[in-house]
Structure 1
Amino acid sequence: MRDHVRARHERAIAIARAHGSLSIADLAALLEVSMVTARRDAELLVSEGRLGRVHGSVVWPGSGRPAPAPAVPAPGFRRARAGTVVGMVVPTMHYSFSEIVQGARAVLAARGARLVLGLSGYFPDEDRSQIRRLVAAGAAGLLVTPSREDGTPGPGGADAVLEAAVPTVLVERWTRTGSPADALDRVRSDSAHGAGSAVHHLAALGHRRIALALQDSPHARQLKAGFTSALTTLGLPPAPAPGFDPGAAASESERYDLALEHLRGCVREHAVTAALVHSDADAVVLLPRLQALGIRVPEDLALVVYDDEVAGLSEPALTAVAPPRRAVGAAAAGLLLDRLDRLGRLDGGDPAHAPRHHVELLPELRVRDSCGGAITRALTV
């Protein structure tokens, strides 16, 4: 076996040991190889008994879920000692996080730094484990998306961010005003603005009754705030209450059923003619179900969705509010490198007193067929 293949296999084993369990897609991202190569490596290592496999994921033998990662450098870290190493902790490489990571990685590489990734799997206690692992491995700074939404101290990931002994930037998260983590640098998409731009667009098309259907996510609170504020600003009536908590649904299927019933009731009982749906993946599932109920899109219900990962692939294509994910990762990486640069200067300045930054990047409204409008430019609040 060629040396570089053997080295990659050792890295795969180290990654599995650190994470306990991870998907083939996440393994491919961490190894920086194609899905085909990652799957081939995984199959070989499983056949040799060096890794296990469960439901499409590779697992460290004996691990049923992400295990606490060892606080020792994994193979590959040592090669970056000549340059700056930045650690990044995200819940997963699925959904929007792959774009965020790519944006951060591009900026770091352009400035001579190297990115090392840790995945928390949405387990708050894993945030702390990954942060400690990355710092122990020599990370000079951290880019962190905590598994929980707010940054108030308490059990889980929020206080782990505060414990990090290196400069840290929160990515696509925010904190409660007054909490200790509120003093950290952070970069996020302004999802409230994005929701507001959707309402303004629909109102410009003549819609007066607009509904909201949200999934349970870290962005839900901000989306609802921006949506409600835009209705008030425009003098539009409040949206019909959903009558259900998406976070309380027992399954994804039940969540779809509840959202469908909410939208059906909005159209049939409240004369709603337009809706903002989060996420676009949810809307793709709901669209044919609405049509099966006789609710035509956009004739009976104009739709705008938040997120633009699959929105353009539906029929009709979905108008989408697209958060600038790649730009968020790039801005966060630049902010962290700027702070690290100040720490390294010998000009007598005190980097601890340098201004902190809370950066919000505005999403873009991408108009397609589902809203029934001919406006082709992005609208802003």
Structure 2
Amino acid sequence: MREPVDLRRQRILAAIEARGSARVTDLASELQVSVVTVRRDVEELAREGRLRRGHGVVRSTLPAQEFPARNLPGGELGEFSPQSPPDGDAVAVVVPERHSYLYEALHGARSVLEAAGRRIALHIAPHVAGAERPLVERALVDGAAGLLLAPRWRTRADEEADQDWLAALDVPAVLMERRPWPGSALHAMDSVCSDHDYGARLAVEHLVGLGHRRFVFATREDSPTARTLRSAFARIAEEHPLVEAAAWTLSTPDAGPGGPCPDATPADLYARLRAVGATAAVLHGDVDALMLVHQLADNGVRVPEDCSVVAYDDVVAGLGTTPLTAVAPPKAEVGRAAAELLLQRLGAPRGAPAPVVRRTELLPTLTVRGSTRVLMVNRA
């Protein structure tokens, strides 16, 4: 005997209100009816304002915090545990491959999302232009309720290429460690970042306080963080009354957006130090910094006796033969703050006024280790 339409729709509503969301295909399987039938029911329920539709997923009209935090009694629609929600309750996280810095932010986000009963659907973007968009589209088809994004954006052109589709997202999304270009279509997008300008100043002020006046800054040039740091160091060196001279170089030959840089040779840091008479260096990031310290040793430059060194990132800076003084952006805190902001967006009641966009910046910290010391030579 065919199930009455009203009863079937009530079962659909019960399932969605218990889970928060579910895929149309899953509902069809559980109810043992066709996808077309469920889609027709969902369309009618959505017209009545009792459900929300989107990308093959049906969502409840209840705020996220009102979803029952319990198992449903065993029945035809199965059981639901808040530790293992369906895809429609998941948050998709998109980060670049082989990026230990952002993986720490991911772990911070995970602690917040799992405590809220949200599953993380992790997507790793390969190092090619435009890799994030198909991953986001796939996540939305799978029913992701919200997004945490860290596009690689090696260049400003990469960011501009992503503006239109990111601005058109129809689910809440928060950028991690990415500052959209002022005035761009993404400038009014929620974001949580480290204040890298403050971190750069921490490094310089620490070294200036030790008596150093001449610097070399070695940074990468293939990420938004790297470009922000390079700009900050250049501005600080120009404006600081106690900085006498400064030079910049790539921290590794493959650190530029176009691939290997012919101007960055293994002895480049040593050559730059000699050219400006530098007694201190700030190196980004940790792995490159540790390798550059070894290069200095090969050229007879001792750290910290001949040159004080500060690393920027502090993921593995303390593990070197000479543990490196390092600036540590609040990586895990960035992830936690981004996840908390996303949960607020997901929990907003339907029909509520558009929220005020937030651009949150968290301050890095400095950890002093054995790679910096007071300058022992009096300068005339």
- For 2:103, the equivalent position in structure 1 comes to 98
Cα deviation digits, residues 5-37 of structure 1 (max 9, x gap): xxxxxxxxxxxxxxxxxxxxxxxxxxxxxxxxx
- For 2:190, the equivalent position in structure 1 comes to 185
**2:241 counterpart of 1:222:** no
Cα 1:124–1:358 shift into 2, 3 Å: same
> How high is the TM-score relative to the length of structure 2?
0.70
* Contact 2:218-2:284 within 8 A present in 1 as well: yes
The residue type equivalent to 1:225 in the other structure is S
* Contact 2:220-2:227 within 8 A present in 1 as well: no
Q: Cα distance, 1:362 vs. partner?
A: 1.1
**2:331 counterpart of 1:322:** no
SS in 2 for 1:125: coil
C-alpha distance in 2, partners of 1:249/1:155? 17
C-alpha distance in 1, partners of 2:141/2:147? 12
Cα deviation digits, residues 71-114 of structure 1 (max 9, x gap): 999xxx99623973211111125411221111111101112222
Cα deviation digits, residues 173-211 of structure 1 (max 9, x gap): 111100011110001111121111100000000001111
* Contact 2:218-2:250 within 8 A present in 1 as well: no
Cα deviation digits, residues 336-370 of structure 1 (max 9, x gap): 1111111xx26x631x2x21100111111111111
SS in 2 for 1:236: coil
CA RMSD of superposed structures (Å): 3.0
In structure 2, stretches of 5+ residues that fail to align are: 1-54, 58-79, 376-380
1:125 to 130, 148, 152: 130
Aligned length: 293
2:209 to 194, 204, 209: 204
SS in 2 for 1:124: coil
SS in 1 for 2:122: strand
Give the number of the structure whose alpha-carbon radius of gyration is greater.
Answer: 2
* Contact 2:95-2:102 within 8 A present in 1 as well: yes
Percent of aligned positions with the same letter in both sequences? 38
Q: Cα distance, 1:264 vs. partner?
A: 1.5
> How high is the TM-score relative to the length of structure 1?
0.70
Which has the larger displacement, 322-331 or 222-231?
222-231
C-alpha distance in 1, partners of 2:258/2:127? 18
Q: Cα distance, 1:241 vs. partner?
A: 4.6
- Point out the structure with the larger helix share: 1
* Contact 1:194-1:226 within 8 A present in 2 as well: no
- For 1:270, the equivalent position in structure 2 comes to 276
- For 1:236, the equivalent position in structure 2 comes to 243
Q: Cα distance, 1:329 vs. partner?
A: 0.6
* Contact 1:128-1:156 within 8 A present in 2 as well: no
Cα 1:274–1:147 shift into 2, 3 Å: same
* Contact 1:306-1:320 within 8 A present in 2 as well: yes
- For 2:299, the equivalent position in structure 1 comes to 293
- For 2:179, the equivalent position in structure 1 comes to 174
C-alpha distance in 1, partners of 2:162/2:87? 30
The residue type equivalent to 2:358 in the other structure is H
4+ aligned runs moved over 4 Å, structure 1:
149-156, 243-246, 248-251
The residue type equivalent to 1:167 in the other structure is P
SS in 2 for 1:304: strand
